[in-house]
Each structure stands twice: as C-alpha cells, then as structure tokens.
C-alpha cells in the first residue's frame, strides 16, 4: 500500500503526504473491520491521493475503480499537488497553483507525475509538475510554497447565507431527478455538497432571467487526518466539482441534462488561510464572462467562521452540441 522508493531528505515530509500510518488512520473507521466493509467514498479519495514513489521526484497515481470516459480534472490537480508537496519542506505551505489541462486523461491507466524543482529560495519554493500518460503530457501544474509570514491583512466579507445544517444534502435536493444521468445525483460522494442557491438542474426549469452565480456548502464526508497538505489537496479536488456550472446558469443550461460539452482548460488557486477540508466551507461561484466557446468562472472559498481561505479561477471549453 505504502509507496516504495528513496527516503526523503532532511526536513522533508517524513512519510510523504498520506504515508502508511496516515492512510491507515484515514481508512480504518472505528467499529469496522478492515477488509470486510467496502471503503467509503472519502476513504477511496484518500487512497487516490496516496501516490506511489517510483523514482526521485517521480510518482504514480492510481485511478478510481469507476466507469469514466475521462479523468476528472480535480483528481489530476489534487494528485499533482501531492507530488509537488512531497518535495517541499513541511514548514512551507502551498500558497498558489496554476494548471493547464492539455489532453483528456485515460481513466484505465495510472498517471505518472514528474516533478521539476524549479527554485528553493529563502522564503519561496517553486515546483513544476507534468502528468504523463502513454508518453504524452496530459496536465501541467506550477505551484509555489512559502514560509508563513505576518503582514498587512484585509479580506472581502463572506456572503450572508443560510448555514449548511439547515440545508438538504445533494441527494435529498435532487431526489426528483435521481434517475437522471445514470443516477449521478444519488451516488455517494467523498464531498458533502449542499446548495444554497438552486442546483443547475432545478434552476433550468424556472422561468425568467437567471444570474450567473452559485453558492454551495462543502466538506469532506468524514474525518481526515491532520495533514495540512491533504486538506489542501482535498479542496483542490472539490474546487473542480461545481465551478464551471456557473458559466451555464445564465443560459438556462445544465451539464448532463442539456446537449452541452464542458471541459476544463485551466485552473488557478490562491490559498490565503489554513483550513480543514472536513469542516464546512462556503464555495461562492460566479461567471464574469462566457464567449468564443469558452467560459470564465471565479470562486471564493470561506471557512464556516467567515475567513476567506481560497480564491479560484477557471476557464472551460463550452460547446453546445447539435
């Protein structure tokens, strides 16, 4: 289970992100016998983020045991950030990433992540990661890490919205459409999603103009180990789940229901505050522009107590088919 390969150097993450002990802690739930009860969706996500070390700065990521046409963008981004983080001292948290989706990923074969140590400065560390399948790059990520420093601070105020405890789960909200898209809305997920605004599938049925804005509460559906990089990678995974939907809302379209093709082109994140992915966070999303078969989406992630923890930008390919 645990990755094989050379030991990390001094000051590095001693067992890597999700080392053997951490993965064991995340996957074995009290009252459950390991190997008897199938793992939960969150346990499978933790396992997915546990990369295998195959050489110095080269890692291999497994694929989920699901029937997929292509690799989910949040998965490859989260795995790439794991690869980058394993080569950086633990006292330097990631503060930004910029990524491009180059080719559709093949979900039937593992992904190899090659890390290039671009710079190790006194305050900042920069890593470049290329994800490879079948000898070709499918994804490229640059990430920057920084020693924690104090300085000027200000932030935008979190939107005033109902708390997540007062809102139905996605499965409850979408029960009427549970048979749509091969039961996609009713499937168990590693991320608990609760819409503040109407989900796209419901919104499209409503008459009148629609705003290009969406708000959801999210959290990992279970408890995660106390590894800050794991929480960052889990939120990176989740950040790609609903963001591009905002580019379709004004047009009354919903992915999986209408004949529209949606694919991520690039993805950028700025991490402002430490947070836990297994505690509620508000993901406020909007789309300032759609045109030229591309849509631009913007997101802000707030902790439950109102701290702006992450800012997200993404551009996606949008093609109406037929």
pLDDT tens-digit readout, 17-71? 443 222 323 333 334 445 568 899 999 999 999 999 999 999 999 998 776 668 9
Q: Which CATH superfamily is domain 20-146 in?
A: Hotdog Thioesterase (3.10.129.10)
Catalytic residue numbers?
A: 240, 264, 314
Q: Which string of DSSP letters, residue by residue, matches 57-81?
A: TEEEE---SS--SS--HHHHHHHHH
Residue with tokens 């300032």: 288
Q: The whole model's pTM is what?
A: 0.86
Given a contact cutoff of 8 angstroms between Cβ atoms, the answer to whether 204 and 260 are in contact is: no
Per-residue pLDDT tens for 164-177? 999 999 888 888 77
Do 167-320 and 20-146 have the same topology in CATH? Answer: yes
> Sheet harboring 124-133: ordered strands across?
52-55, 58-61, 111-120, 124-133, 136-146, 94-101, 260-271, 308-320, 294-303, 281-291, 213-220, 191-195
Task: Tell me the three state secondary structure of residue 27.
Answer: helix
DSSP type of residue 24:
H
> For residue 179, what pLDDT is reported?
66
Residue closest to 141 by CA, chosen among 91, 92, 85, 88 = 85
Q: Where on the phi/psi map is residue 136: left (φ > 0), alpha (ψ -120 to 50), or beta?
A: beta
> For residue 4, what pLDDT is reported?
32
> For residue 111, what pLDDT is reported?
97
Q: So where are the chain's domains?
A: 20-146, 167-320
Strands 124-133 and 58-61: unpaired
CA distance 84 to 182: 35
> For residue 185, what pLDDT is reported?
66
> For residue 92, what pLDDT is reported?
97
Strands 94-101 and 308-320: unpaired
pLDDT per residue as tens, the chain (322 positions): 333 333 333 333 433 344 322 232 333 333 444 556 889 999 999 999 999 999 999 999 999 877 666 899 999 999 999 999 999 999 999 999 999 999 999 999 999 999 999 999 999 999 999 999 999 999 999 999 999 999 999 999 999 999 999 999 988 888 877 666 565 666 789 999 999 999 888 888 888 888 999 999 999 999 999 999 999 999 999 999 999 999 999 999 988 888 999 999 999 999 999 999 999 999 999 999 999 999 999 999 999 999 999 999 999 999 998 7
CA distance 25 to 89: 22
Structure tokens at 81: 């950030």
Residues ≥6 apart with Cβ < 8 Å to 263: 101, 104, 316, 317
What string of H, E and C letters represents the secondary structure of 138-152?
A: EEEEEEEEECCCCCC
CA distance 158 to 282: 8
- 167-320, what's its fold? Thiol Ester Dehydrase; Chain A (3.10.129)
């Amino acid at each position: 289970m645990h990755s094989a390969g050379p030991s990390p150097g001094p000051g590095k993450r001693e067992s890597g992100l999700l080392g053997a002990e951490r993965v064991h802690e995340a996957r074995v739930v009290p009252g459950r016998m390991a190997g008897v009860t199938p793992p939960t969706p969150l346990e499978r996500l933790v396992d997915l983020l546990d990369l295998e070390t195959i050489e110095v700065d080269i890692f291999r990521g497994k694929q989920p045991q699901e029937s997929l046409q292509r690799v989910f963008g949040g998965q490859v981004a989260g795995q790439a950030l794991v690869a980058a983080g394993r080569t950086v001292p633990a006292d330097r948290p990631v503060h930004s990433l910029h990524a491009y989706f180059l080719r559709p990923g093949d979900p039937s074969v593992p992904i190899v992540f090659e890390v290039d140590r671009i710079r190790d400065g006194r305050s900042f560390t920069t890593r470049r990661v290329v994800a490879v399948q079948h000898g070709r790059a499918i994804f490229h990520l640059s990430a920057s890490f920084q020693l924690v420093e104090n300085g000027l601070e200000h932030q935008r105020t979190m939107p005033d919205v109902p708390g997540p405890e007062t809102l139905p789960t996605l499965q409850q909200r979408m029960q009427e459409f549970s048979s749509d898209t091969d039961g996609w809305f009713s499937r168990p997920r590693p991320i608990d999603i609760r819409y503040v605004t109407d989900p796209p599938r419901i919104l499209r049925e409503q008459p009148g103009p629609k705003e290009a804005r969406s708000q959801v509460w999210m959290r990992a559906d279970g408890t995660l180990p106390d590894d800050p990089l794991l929480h960052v990678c889990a939120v990176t995974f989740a950040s790609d789940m609903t963001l591009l939907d905002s580019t379709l809302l004004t047009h009354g379209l919903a992915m999986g229901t209408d004949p529209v093709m949606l694919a991520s082109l690039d993805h950028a994140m700025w991490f402002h505050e430490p947070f836990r992915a297994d505690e509620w966070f508000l993901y406020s999303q909007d789309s300032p522009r759609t045109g030229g078969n591309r849509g631009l989406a913007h997101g802000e992630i707030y902790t439950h107590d109102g701290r702006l923890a992450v800012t997200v930008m993404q551009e996606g390919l949008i093609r109406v088919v037929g």
